[in-house]
A and B are shown apart, each in its own frame.
Chain A
Amino acid sequence: AQKITQTQPGMFVQEKEAVTLDCTYDTSDPSYGLFWYKQPSSGEMIFLIYQGSYDQQNATEGRYSLNFQKARKSANLVISASQLGDSAMYFCAMSGLTGGGNKLTFGTGTQLKVEL
């Protein structure tokens, strides 16, 4: 079974500062993927970034980067130069190749508030 843990229910950051959202995972699958999704107050789920378990380098997508530490089973999301529009709920999720279907297991999310 796969498990995702997000221990920060809420986070505050000042505009233009960087923020790290924590995510730890547990799985017995030798090959897996880690994802971050953003859910603004309007409710849609927006894919942000992906890290494969065999990827040698940390994933980056614009202002988003994923700090992947395989031995520690962590996949933290780093948002650089925060903007007011980054205020949202952020979900960490993982999928594995075992069993087929690339099913996602989600964490409970972190509510990020960006302040002036």
Chain B
Amino acid sequence: QVQLQESGPGLVKPSETLSLTCTASGGSISRYYWSWIRQPPGKGLEWIGYIYYSGSTNFNPSLKSRVSISVDTSKNQFSLRLSSVTAADTAVYYCVRDPSGTDSGAFDIWGQGTMVTVSS
């Protein structure tokens, strides 16, 4: 069973770019789609976007102008970049296996999440 682990800075300054990496272990990220989801403190879940192992992407229109997701299959990793961050981007960020192409059609494998705070 694949396990996911997020990594990256826990503090980002306003107007800068948030960068996170998700490393998969126990299996290959090839053949599946991989998503980023975030959760502001005390609030609900927001899907950010996904990437297929081949590199094709799909983003939430609410964030599309600021988001990019990339994949490195040689390292079994995929990464999130969110530009021009504000305090509203403060959240726990999860990397997750996307529903697309899975038997369940659900987000079935989650990382533990990493808290990112936007503050000067």
Q: Are A and B associated in one complex?
A: no
The chain B residues found within 8 Å of chain A, CB to CB, are none
The chain A residues found within 8 Å of chain B, CB to CB, are none
